[in-house]
Every structure is written in structure tokens, then in C-alpha cells.
Amino acid sequence: MKPLILIVVLTGFAVSAFSLEFVVAPMVFIDETTDTINQRNNFHTRLVRELGNTETGLQLRFRVSDSLRFTPPQSVGDAIVLARTERADYVIYGFFTRREQTIQGTLRLLDYERREIIAHFHAMDSNEREEELVRDLAEKIFRFVQETYNIITIPDPPAFTHIQFPISLGYWQPVDGKWLDLLFGLVKIEGGVQLIPSDYVFVLDGFSHYFSLGVNVSYRFGIGNQYDAWNHSFSVNAPILLHRKLNEQNEAYAGFGLMYSFDLLYIKRPYEDPSTELFGAAGFVFNGGWIFKPRENLFIFAEIRMEVRFYDNPMFNIAPSAGIILRRFTQEVIKKW
């Protein structure tokens, strides 16, 4: 894993206020073995992926061009037009060429303010080593940016294992026709335990990521929408979540997991005797949320969840919630995985 980087600005501005963004344009791919020029390829996304393997946060960013209506730039003029459209200070563009035995890349770095090319990057490798070629170009680009803009490297931050306990209060509501006509969701309460094996697993797009594993127990209550009815539901779910650290205090996450629910439903339809039903079902949960850290070992989070329960008539419901996470165990990871 590449080291964390910190940009030191020599112009007197604060580090937190400084940022560099490099837009990587679609590339021209010339295949001399078939005498074709392919302007639809993924070399630019692969290059950004390699460049994004350094944790840079909000200080340095490499991103793919958003201007899909433009063909890959082949000249300084083309690159200037793309930079103006993207509102980009710097644009990386160029050519990849495949020959009988080799593949090579020739890239250029445009400074939009100066309206000129400030660097050239070249690499060549054998035909079967495309990934190595892209990685070589990414390392040359990063080295140039590092040296030109006084980027200082420091060691990777330490990784830690955590055990923590989320507690939340929320609301739920069926979203499919039959259940929506029957039940109106009122309240949902959930608590559980969450394990984070390592809070620094990999870097993507300049941000560190990690996984968490959890087991949660929840209770929810609903009442009849058209009939006299109420529903008590108890469930267990086990989500696997991917977290993205945005900064020291904020992170986003998303994931999914398995669940099993046990329900008690009472219903009284007009002109019928009341009935009470007991039933259970397996299902899936899909989670997405935001976590804010106001102080050490205490987190506030907001989440929206989609649940699918496979009753005889499957139920789809949405459940927004908010809560706190209490961290009660932390230990440094000696060997990262």
C-alpha cells in the first residue's frame, strides 16, 4: 500500500485550504496489429484507479473526465477545450499504441492556466503486461506531482481492531401494495454488536476504506392501515458493511446482509372473527448511512435501510433510523490484511 501523503503549501496558504485536482481524459488507443484506432477504451479509468491507490483525502485528487460528449483529446487545443469544460486546472491525456510485440503509452500533462504542456510521460512493455504499463505511468505521474508541488510522504497510519455497540431508533413502512394496504409502520428499535477487524484495509480514490461485521436484534411495531390490526416483529440481521473515511470525523458506509424475522400479527377484518397469526421468514437487508464522530469512542449515525422478507407474500419495506455507536474495545493491528 502506498504511503499517506500530506501536501505542504509553500505559498503561505493553510494546508487544509489547498487542493489539487487532475482530470484524466479518455485516451486514444491505436492498435497497429489491426490497423484500427479505438476511442472507446478504459485506459483512463485504469490509470485513475492506480493513481487513487494513495490516500490523499481532499488535498490531492485524480478523477476521470466527465465530458463524455468529447472525443479523446489529441492536441493541446483539444485538451484546453476539455479543461475549460471541466473547469480543470490540469488535464492528463495521450495515446496508447499496441504493436506486434509491445504496448506503449505516451501521456501529456496540460496546465490550463499557462495553456501549455508541462510534462510528458512515456512507458513501454510487452503486450501481455498492460496492467504493469498503466502502473508504471501512474507512478511517473505521481512522482512528478510529488516533486513539483512539494508533496511530503509520511508512513501509513496504524490500523486498529474495534468492537462497538450500535443503538438506534427509527421508523419503518412497507412499500409494496398488499402490505402497504394492511399495515402502517410506527417505530423500530435496534441494538447489536459490530466488529471492525481493521479500520485501514485499502485506499481508493484517495480515501481509506474498511469493512465491518455486525449482528443486530431489532423490534418493530405497526398498526392496521384499513383494519383493526397490530404487528409485533422481532428480527436478527447480520450485515457486512464497507466504510469510506471522508475525514477524521465523517465517514459513509453501505452494505447488505441476511436476516430472519419472527412476527405476531393480530387482525380484525369486517364481518370476520379476529385472528392472530405467528409466522417467520428469512430475508435480506441493504444498508446505507453516514457516521459522525463528535468525540473519542462515541459516534452518531443516520441510516436508511431496505428490508426484504420472504413471507408467502414477500414484504419490501424501507426503514430510516438514527442512533449512536459506543466503542468499547480497541487494539492495534500488528499485521494488516
Render pLDDT for 26-60 as a digit per residue (tens, 0 to 9). Answer: 998 988 888 777 767 888 888 988 887 665 555 67
Percent of residues, the chain, with pLDDT higher than 70: 88
Which residue in the block uniquely carries the three cell numbers 479543461? 83
CA–CA separation, 172 and 185 (whole Å): 5
Angle formed by the axes of helices 43-51 and 130-148, nearest 10°: 50
Q: Which stretch of 16-25, 225-234, 271-280 has the lowest confidence by average pLDDT?
A: 16-25
The most distant pair of C-alpha atoms in the chain lies apart, rounded to whole Å, by 83
Given a cut of 60, whether residue 9 has pLDDT beyond it is no
End-to-end, the C-alpha distance of the chain in Å comes to 11
320: cell is: 430510516
- Please give the radius of gyration of the chain, using alpha carbons only, rounded to the nearest integer: 27
Render pLDDT for 55-101 as a digit per residue (tens, 0 to 9). Answer: 555 567 788 887 666 688 999 999 999 889 888 889 999 999 999 89
CA–CA separation, 253 and 251 (whole Å): 7
* Cβ atoms within 10 Å, residue 63: 16
Given a cut of 80, whether residue 155 has pLDDT beyond it is no
Q: Does domain 160-332 have CATH number 2.40.160.20?
A: yes
Give the strand pairing for 28-31 and 90-98: parallel
Render pLDDT for 106-152 as a digit per residue (tens, 0 to 9). Answer: 999 999 999 999 999 999 999 889 899 999 999 999 889 888 887 65
pTM for this structure?
0.64
Given a cut of 60, whether residue 276 has pLDDT beyond it is yes
In the chain, the amino acid numbered 249 is: Q
Identical fold for domains 4-154 and 160-332, yes or no, is no
Q: State the chain's mean pLDDT as an integer.
A: 85
Given a cut of 60, whether residue 12 has pLDDT beyond it is no
Q: How confident is the model at residue 3 (pLDDT cuts 50, 70, 90)?
A: very low
Q: Kindly state which CATH superfamily the domain 4-154 is placed in.
A: TolB, N-terminal domain (3.40.50.10070)
* b/e per residue 190-216 (b: at least 16 CB within 10 A): bebebebbbbbbebebbbbbbbbebeb
CA–CA separation, 266 and 272 (whole Å): 13
Domain regions of the chain by residue span: 4-154, 160-332
